[in-house]
Chain A
């Protein structure tokens, strides 16, 4: 039944714009909203693991869009392929960020005051507190209270529940902070003690450190950069934008001021699993690149080993070994035997057995430009359905399978991938039977091209190292923030905030000590602590319990 008065009779207080904002701020910074946003953040992060993400693998996104023509574009519009840079995900974490700040700042103020305040006066009736214990001991009340003070002051009170704990203590005869002294005649003799202020400190450190982590991530995003480079063994590259295959700078990066280091890869050792069978066969076991590095063009050369878990460091930038593959050395000659092109051409691995695709573009060929496109197979065999394939990732039976095209390599000079051929202005060469011409070359072999177009030779096979160079000025800050958050978290979960009050009253020639305890949150050990305190007092007063 509704017992509320009729609302029309009540003058509702109206909220002005300031009041509305204040109300909104309270809502946003409330614990309930923070909780809701946390759960929303968890749910919002999930789609990024289900659908392919552009920042990780743009190719898989394109495949997905191609195979889901009706739902794909809608998912794309909703940002499901860029979840972590989408506006709705940003909205969640920015609201959470604001909520975090709005929670930490006022709580820090309150805690700062609480840390410097004295514990509150002891309540009159300690037996009403959640935990309470009483004992009768020998001695006068004043002496017993002094003993209790000593017991609380001793950092290490007997018993496992006390441990190392510093109590902040206030005694009845101390004046109130405002100068008012409470007469003990009216109030009896008492002590109040509080400990575990670090619980709230830890909690605040945890939340503040999360803010630091978010700021560090933002710093890394704005000032960091990454570049990728495929480097054939025997070659070197220096850290300038033009040397990179792809370069991805943050919005505030000064791309002219990159540190001028140089890396040359002399040799790349690769080991694959040969013994085990099943899914483990051919699994990579070790990659080691032997490099020569210079921190600047004037600096001395240093030999360094680059491994998968061991990046090279140049100031803030680190060089990682993230990929590898094969670069067949190919020579193309014209009919007269003149070399038109001689180059180690990187091919990109497509599967676990390094069936790799690549293209050779001979722009010097005349009258028409020549293009070769096909596969490099480290361990070649002919699959009935898939054509030339590889059965193992290492060089057991290397071969190059190519188709040949002639025509215009770069129509309208548009930029194109070096690993594929743009065949719109090219025609494929045919063999005598009228089928597309396919060449299969083993190292050292030469194939003549039909009708005096010259020849192609597979001289040898080299390896390439896929280097990724990253610079993130925020990462140390992020680590510091994360570690501080962890320490704060441990403090806030493990430390107990407790208040203990002691009262003494005379009973004949003896004294009754009464201790009451109060804790913030769950504290199953509080009762035992009070028992420990009582028995310590009994022991020090020489009372036999």
Chain B
């Protein structure tokens, strides 16, 4: 039993969220572009928030982000109501809920510290994912396969999606860290205008690295939990907690790669930068797990709905 009207409203919610995010993204970009080094030309600028630069655009962008987040929450709720179940049954719904978690996590982080510099690099990927979701991954609202009708769907998939959302934010910050490390190694006098803007707009590399590490440290135990919850569910549904199904393999690979990242951070002789490359590889595995495994590999997790 599905409610077609409600699922149409859910799609409408996604489209409105996308329009709001588009404006938010542009406003974030305007804000960053305005951070030309009028105050200090030094490459090692202090925290951006200390600069007495008025940041009206960033404020507007944050408001729009929250508005878009609310629209997305509404869309997810309506999608769930239209099918009378948690909206975690196919790739379209994962993408939707994942984007919602990214925005919610970003807004939550923004309440505790100044992350306006990150907005563009969070909302951009969200917008891209939503666009892909509503066009390529779109699946009509429908009931679930019997093997998915379990309380573990909510536990396992919600936590998985949430930790992927955190890994996504951490990925953006890690990329920015690499960019900033590179910029900081440049001669500040000979830098082009664009590089100077990026260099001043972002926090110092060390701070970026610490932020990325902090997010990874939260996401990794959540992913570990995902792995365990998935094994418990597999035991109930298929009779074996671990069967080396392609999805299980990749979940395991992701876990091992991020474990290697944390390990590398504690290993003498490995710089944070080298460890960060492992984290990027980990995110690459997440993308493979979501896009390639669901669609192209044959296994018991074939639920893409496509």
Nearest-CB distance from A393 to chain B (Å)? Answer: 13
Chain A, 93-132, CB within 8 A of any chain B CB: none
Considering only CB atoms, which chain B residue lies closest to A278 in the complex? B140
- Per-residue interface assignment for chain B, residues 244 to 262, with 1 indicating a CB less than 8 Å from any chain A CB and 0 otherwise: 1110011011001101101
Stretch at the interface among B51-59, B165-173, B228-236: B228-236
Q: Which residues, 67 to 83 on B, are CB-close (under 8 Å) to A?
A: none
Binary contact track B209-241/A, C-beta < 8 Å → 1, others 0: 010010001001100110110011101111111
Give chain B residues whose Cβ lies under 8 Å from the Cβ of A521.
266
| Chain A to chain B contacts (Cβ below 8 Å), 27 pairs | A38-B263, A39-B278, A46-B253, A49-B250, A83-B244, A276-B2, A276-B142, A278-B140, A285-B143, A285-B144, A285-B145, A286-B146, A308-B149, A309-B149, A309-B233, A311-B239, A320-B237, A320-B238, A320-B239, A468-B239, A470-B239, A479-B228, A479-B241, A486-B228, A521-B266, A522-B210, A522-B213
Q: Report A-chain residues with C-beta under 8 Å of the C-beta of B293.
A: 49
8 cross-chain pairs, A with B, having the tightest CB-CB distances, nearest first:
A49-B246, A320-B239, A308-B146, A49-B249, A42-B256, A38-B260, A309-B150, A470-B239
Bound together, the chains give a CA A60 to CA B246 distance in angstroms of 14
**A15 smallest CB distance to B (angstroms):** 23
Q: Does B34 contact A (CB under 8 A)?
A: no
- A46 and B251 CA atoms in complex are apart in Å by 11
Q: B305 at interface (Cβ–Cβ under 8 A)?
A: yes
B238 and A45 contact, CB distance less than 8 A: no
Contact A45 B252, beta carbon cutoff 8 Å: yes
Most buried by B among A42, A287, A524: A42
Contacts of A283 in B (CB 8 A): 142-143, 145
Range, interface on chain A: 35 or more
- Given A39-B278, A486-B225, 17 more A-B residue pairs with CB atoms under 8 Å apart are A38-B256, A48-B244, A53-B244, A55-B244, A56-B243, A276-B2, A283-B143, A284-B145, A285-B144, A287-B146, A308-B146, A470-B240, A483-B228, A493-B217, A493-B262, A521-B266, A522-B213
A494 to B214: give the CA distance in the assembly, Å: 10
- Chain B nearest CB from A539 CB (Å) reads 26
Cα A521 to Cα B299 in complex, Å, equals 41
Which B residues contact A (CB, under 8 angstroms)? 1-2, 139-140, 142-147, 149-150, 152, 210, 213, 217, 220-221, 224-225, 227-228, 231-233, 235-246, 249-250, 252-253, 256-257, 259-260, 262-264, 266-270, 278, 285, 293, 297-299, 305-306
By the criterion CB–CB under 8 Å, are A309 and B240 in contact? no
Assess whether A41 is interfacial by the CB under 8 Å rule.
yes
Binds B, one of A29-37, A260-268, A413-421: A29-37
Contact string, A442-474, partner B, CB cutoff 8 A, digits 1/0? 000000000000000000000000001010100
Report chain B residues within 8 Å CB of A45: 249, 252-253, 256
Q: Is the CB of A279 within 8 A of B244?
A: no
Q: Which residues of chain A are near B232, meaning CB under 8 Å? A: 479
- A197-224 CB mask vs B (1 if < 8 Å, else 0) is 0000000000000000000010000000
Q: Smallest distance from the beta carbon of B7 to chain A beta carbons, Å?
A: 11
Q: Which of A34, A83, A280 contacts B263 (CB 8 A)?
A: A34
A42 proximity list for chain B (CB < 8 A)? 253, 256-257, 260, 285
Contacts of B221 in A (CB 8 A): 486, 489-490, 493
Contact A524 B210 (CB under 8 A): yes
Known: A46-B249, A308-B146. A32 touches B210 (CB 8 A): no
B147 A309 Cβ-Cβ under 8 A: yes
Query: Using Cβ atoms and an 8 Å threshold, which residues of chain B touch A287?
Result: 146
In the assembled complex, which residues on chain A have CB atoms less than 8 Å from the CB atom of B263? 31, 34-35, 38
Taking CB atoms, residues of chain B closer than 8 Å to A307 are 146
Q: What B residues does A137 contact at CB under 8 A? A: none
* Bound: A479/B144 CA distance, A: 27
CA distance in complex: A308, B152 (Å): 13
- Report chain B residues within 8 Å CB of A140: none
Q: How far is the CA of A436 from the CA of B235 in the complex (A)?
A: 48
Report the nearest B residue to A487, measured CB to CB: B221
List of A residues within 8 angstroms of B306 by Cβ? 279
**Chain A residues with CB below 8 A from B2, complex form:** 275-276
Q: Please name all residues of chain A whose beta carbon is closer than 8 Å to the beta carbon of B241 when the two chains form the complex.
A: 472, 475, 478-479
Instruction: Say if the beta carbon of A540 comes within 8 Å of chain B.
Output: no
- Give every chain B residue within 8 A of A276 (Cβ-Cβ): 2, 140, 142-143
Q: Which residues of the other chain, B, contact A39 by a CB distance below 8 angstroms?
A: 256-257, 260, 278
Per the bound structure, the CA–CA distance linking A226 and B243 in Å amounts to 13
A410 adjacent to chain B (CB < 8 Å): no
Are B240 and A472 interface neighbours, CB within 8 A? yes
Q: In whole Å, how far is B130's beta carbon from the nearest beta carbon of chain A?
A: 22
* Chain B residues within 8 Å of A308, by CB: 146-147, 149, 237
Give the docked Cα–Cα distance between A490 and B252 (Å): 18
A478 to B259, CA, bound (A): 19
Q: State how many angstroms separate the Cβ of A381 from the closest Cβ of chain B.
A: 24
